[in-house]
Amino acid sequence: MFYVMPQARENQISLDATSTYHCISRCVRRQFLCGMDSNTGKDFSHRRDWIRARIFELQSIFAIKVCAYAVMSNHVHLVLCVQQDVALDWDDVSNAL
């Protein structure tokens, strides 16, 4: 079996290569993120709006643009663009304290 050790983001992200990334996060153990769970009969549809709101809330405070997203029953897809020019214009937080 092939196992890849986790790596720091600075080793995974190269803004010189590309500023756009496709990110996926999924649930484990067949759990439902949103939608109707046919195994339990529970409806988790209300979570879709929570997740969407959180995605765009986070976009508003980070130098990341959400180019596309899909909230599926057990996973989320995000196409994100790093806005390096925006981040470089920010003041150093330590100077503000």
Query: Is 1 inside a domain boundary?
Result: no
Residues 69-88 have pLDDT tens digits of 999 999 999 999 999 999 99
Query: Is 97 inside a domain boundary?
Result: no
Cβ neighbours, 10 Å, residue 62? 13
Residues 14-63 have pLDDT tens digits of 888 999 999 999 988 878 889 888 888 999 999 999 999 999 999 999 99
- Beta strand pairing call for 64-71 and 20-26: unpaired
* pLDDT of res. 11: 83
Residues spanned by the domain of 66: 34-90
Query: Is 21 inside a domain boundary?
Result: no
By CB neighbour count within 10 A (0-12 exposed, 13-18 middle, 19+ buried), where does 4 fall? exposed
The total domain count for the chain is 1
- Beta strand pairing call for 75-82 and 20-26: antiparallel
pTM: 0.77
Query: In the structure encoding, which two tokens stand for residue 94, read together?
Result: 């330590």
Query: Is 16 inside a domain boundary?
Result: no
Query: Is 39 inside a domain boundary?
Result: yes
Query: Is 14 inside a domain boundary?
Result: no
Query: Is 58 inside a domain boundary?
Result: yes
DSSP track, 30-54: T--SSSB-TTT--B-THHHHHHHHH
Query: Is 7 inside a domain boundary?
Result: no
* pLDDT of res. 10: 78
